[in-house]
Chain A
């Protein structure tokens, strides 16, 4: 099978049951994406597929041969961090670090969803979603952090999104 991950072409000889997550972790050496539950419950495996965030443990690799896949390794490197990665470091948006790649990929995907005007459960207006702390928390609730860096994660994301203190405090409905 053929894959395009982080702009790079990969070939892999796979058991048909291999998930996209296990393809990366067990076959390609891309271990940045994490396996926390293997059931789409924790979000640690979040990747960007054609720009959208998905739980890579819940989808089979074979389904993604024509897709553009971006993992945490594709966002930035230790020497050249993506702005979201950098913000997570400065705001301590992690502790053990295991959910972190998923949080960061999810945050990048989430900001794009807001840009496209997608509303969330807490959006007061379904036609013009505006970001706030409450919106960020709601939209990031598919990514569990047991260490609970949540307040710091919200700080990091709101900074990358360029929210003012007043914008952060806007409540939904």
Chain B
């Protein structure tokens, strides 16, 4: 087997901790460095190509047509009415195979199909094909659809008495420990309040897009997707073709935030139309269609109960939640996921129940669970601290458990209290005044804090690395970079293990035909794909040592040279015709042996206008501990994004459904208010030093969603501190604040 062009594999299942990492012993010293992005020059020059920017010979344009009813049966698609329009090629409908709902994150089964029955307003029933985009779009707007309307379920508030309990997803829908009711009855201090959060949309800047073509029975889709490996399998099933006959390419993805985890309806529509027409079809969703027909974060109603001893130590914690989804979809917003292990409390009830509605599919949006669950829990902790008359940081410190309060196992690493303390010092928390006592002109000013936690997940991932004779390393995995920094951190991991500078590494991502990857989602991307790259490079490293006849530990790799026994050899020379290795990481017993999560603390200073109730965020600080930080700059940027999603969730983002037909009335970027530049002050991010030997060989944990988890609660708590108005119904728009504002400063 020795010789040129060797191929090797290196597989690791996380059944036990990995006590030492090559990232700590590497000599290249590029891991964790704030290096500019690998693909930076391409992105800023407009030469990075996103899905809709590929083209194919004889390509036609497809525009989807959604139905203008929220429930009923499609009885007619009058294609003849538009077929004669200039430039229109055809109208394609497939009542059986079109996707009714987008796919859920991580699914490999086909999404719900069949579009004759209307499950929600805007559901796509046809694709209009044109020689130009203008012809297709113009005709799509005129396509007559007839629908036999039916009664639908559109009003969450009216229907919330009728619920069902969904099957588990990453947590069970219901969890009970001890007797919370009794704890609430007997504890000296209790709290019981209900919070609500609205529907939200990921609103990634790039609309969902697929360019589909068939070549000898094989489908290729340039598609804006987060998980090409699984999405290709799901699409193959939806189309009834073999998995090897579907390829998804997603070299660059213009943001996802969960909305592109699963395949969305344009993929199947473009593929079916392309097969029928015998031409490549490009279909890009209109922005309104992204809101109408992909996926939303469900609205929630969350009851929080806390029971404590006189000193504030929790003996009971309840987090009972309602969310909504379509009748045949069991995904529930896991609002209580963070609550399972965040605080002490022997008596616990954490539940999730579903209200069935005819509204756009509910699915994953950035930090499913924590993002909205922590709005409630961390607001409640703030309210409870006020009730107890202790500092909210002190209340959290007293309730920071030393082991998982449900499973009884240790935490892999946990610096929650440390994050709060470091943040308090840096933010000037000690200067926080009692509520409604600080004024700056016509603004009430206040400070707020909240904890951050986000579950750490590891999924199966593989990667291939190949070192050539020139000493250049090629890394390949079906992972994606959706703005997360995957290209960059994978190059840094490979560079550190292989002793290669950035410019001698090529990273290829976003192709379902590359080694399988969990893709980008759930904050698992960097750790999973990074571990696979690490293992592939470790194996190449071992092979280089073998060729030198030394122990790998006795060899140093730096700047393309292998240094051992006082000799320095170019690694390209050792590679001969190339060394190729596949790395594979699998989750194992560590998943249950320890509880793994990233932690942090959010601090916010806000100003509330005493006249209008307008809230402005003046400054924010996030302190985070998430194991090894792979690139301090891209990790910081992820956290900036998380905090900003928190600003949106706290103050502006609300997808409003018409209760008569379920239509998302504010389905565009002018009416659905994501934060803009002027809404976001200079945000500060600090990372605490940490290594997590239980998580993976990188000793890193997920960070992409940590920044949003709790961020909005810090803002809501700051609003309360500023003006004394507690709003439990997110977002905190001024109409909810204005009627309750104090008349003015209390007299001294």
Contacts and interface: CB of A to CB of B under 8 A. Distances in A.
Interface of A: 15, 17-18, 22, 25-26, 29-39, 41-42, 44, 71-73, 75-79, 81, 85-86, 88-90, 92, 94-101, 104, 122, 133, 136-138, 140-154
Contacts of A150: 640, 644, 675-677, 680
10 contacts: A22-B134, A33-B46, A36-B287, A37-B207, A39-B287, A77-B45, A77-B47, A78-B41, A140-B678, A146-B641
Nearest to B287: A37
A159 to B, nearest CB: 14
Contacts of B52: 25, 35
Contacts of A71: 46
A41 B637 contact: no
B19 interface: no
Nearest to B642: A148
A73 B633 CA distance: 26
Nearest to B638: A95
A22 B669 contact: no
Contact of B669 (A17, A36, A88, A138): A36
B58 to A, nearest CB: 14
A100 B205 CA distance: 10
Interface in B230-282: 252-257
Given A95-B641, A147-B641, A81 B669 contact: no
Tell me the interface secondary structure of chain A in the complex.
Answer: loop
B678 A36 contact: no
B39 to A, nearest CB: 7
A73 B45 contact: yes
Contacts of A146: 202-205, 255, 257, 641, 674
Given A73-B46, A100-B43, A35 B207 contact: yes
A17 B138 contact: yes
Interface string B676-715: 1111111100000000000000000000000000000000
A17 B43 contact: no
B53 A25 contact: yes
B49 interface: yes
Nearest to A133: B682
B36 interface: yes
A149 to B, nearest CB: 6
- A-B pairs with the 3 shortest C-beta distances? A32-B46, A96-B483, A98-B254
B40 interface: yes
B44 A85 contact: yes
Given A85-B44, A98-B255, A152-B637, A41 B676 contact: no
B668 A144 contact: no
Given A92-B637, A137-B678, 15 more contacts: A32-B47, A39-B668, A78-B47, A95-B485, A96-B483, A97-B43, A97-B483, A98-B254, A98-B255, A99-B205, A144-B676, A145-B205, A147-B637, A148-B641, A148-B644
B634 interface: yes
A103 to B, nearest CB: 9
A78 B640 contact: no
B46 A147 contact: no
A89 B44 contact: yes
Contacts of A77: 45, 47
Tell me the interface secondary structure of chain B in the complex.
Answer: loop
B37 interface: yes
Contacts of A97: 39, 42-44, 48, 252, 254, 483
Nearest to B34: A92
A140 B677 contact: yes
A59 B56 CA distance: 27
Given A22-B133, A81-B41, A151-B640, A41 B670 contact: yes
A72 B42 CA distance: 11
B134 A89 contact: no
Contacts of A154: 677, 682
A90 B255 CA distance: 20
Given A89-B44, A151-B640, A36 B206 contact: yes
Interface string B505-534: 000000000000000000000000000000
A12 B681 CA distance: 44
Q: How large is the interface on B (under 10, 10 to 19, 20 to 34, 35 or more residues)?
A: 35 or more
Given A89-B41, A98-B254, A149 B640 contact: yes
B87 interface: yes
Interface string B614-643: 000000000000000000011011101101
A151 B135 CA distance: 41
Given A77-B45, A152-B637, A39 B683 contact: no
A144 to B, nearest CB: 6
Contact of A92 (B37, B134, B680, B681): B37
Interface string B652-685: 0000000000000000111000111111111100
A71 B483 CA distance: 22
A147 B49 contact: no
B310 to A, nearest CB: 42
Nearest to A84: B44
A12 to B, nearest CB: 11
Contacts of B135: 15
Contacts of B668: 37, 39, 41
A39 B44 contact: no
Candidate in A44, A138, A147 with the most chain B CB atoms within 10 angstroms = A147
A87 to B, nearest CB: 9
B50 interface: yes
Contacts of A33: 46
Nearest to B482: A96
B132 interface: yes
A153 B52 CA distance: 25
A69 to B, nearest CB: 14
A76 B45 contact: yes
B44 A141 contact: no
Candidate in B55, B284, B634, B680 with the most chain A CB atoms within 10 angstroms = B680
B645 interface: yes
A129 B28 CA distance: 48
B196 interface: no
A85 B39 contact: no
Nearest to A121: B678
Contacts of B482: 96
